[in-house]
Amino acid sequence: FGSRQKCWCGTSLDPKAVMAGATGRYEEYARQEIQYIEAELKNWFLQRKIALERNVAIRKTLEQNSFSGLETYAQGLPQSQQVMWGELVAGKPKLENKLGVDAREMKADMYLNMFKQSTDLDHPCRIPGSAFLRCLKGNFASQEGDREAKCGRAFNAFDACRNGIKQQQAEATDTAIAKQDIADQRAKGLFQRRTILLDTLSK
């Protein structure tokens, strides 16, 4: 066999050189990972900031147009009107028999005007709510039992609409909170990982 084979058996590698090379590669990888993490954290922070500014702007618009609900709309109103607004939002508007006929008519008008001023034409409860309140106004001179018989079905439709919106809002809120919590937990993990890498590089 005339061919010669070169043997590497006697070749020795410098351990320091091997370690230096491995350390250099790790440091380069760590720096790249830190850059990626910082970009992700910046993106998370900007999304949080934009969402906050958007929500503040939406809330301000709703407050200016009296669409934000009982807590904000009722501020500054007389106590009697706050009670009426609470009945529109979550209770049941009613015309008490103890009130005179003229007072009942005035209260029915207040319910209807308050409701129309706080809901736009596209509001899903605008039609059933207006129908029920018009029924109250149309029967203000009747006794409470008679009004209940005539307007009970209209109120049930209005109440079902209100409850449906509340359920949708609750579900949307829960979904948004869960989504944000996942993003926040991820950002927390990335920040902790960044701290570990920086500590490693500083040694």
Task: Please name the amino acid found at residue 61.
Answer: T
In the chain (203 residues long), the average pLDDT of successive 10-residue segments reads: 50 60 80 94 94 84 56 61 85 90 93 87 90 94 90 95 89 91 95 92 81
pLDDT at position 119 is 83
pLDDT at position 71 is 47
Sign for the pseudo-dihedral over CA of 137, 143, 147, 148: positive
pLDDT at position 81 is 78
pLDDT at position 62 is 65
Distance CA 158, CA 88 (A): 10
pLDDT at position 170 is 87
**159 and 93 in contact (C-beta within 8 Å)?**
no
Task: Please name the amino acid found at residue 42.
Answer: K
Residue written as tokens 């934000």?
A: 68
Classify each residue of 103-126 as buried b or exposed e, where b means 16 or more C-beta atoms within 10 Å of its C-beta: ebbebbebbbebbeebbeeebebe
Consecutive H or E run containing 4: none
pTM of model > 0.85 = no
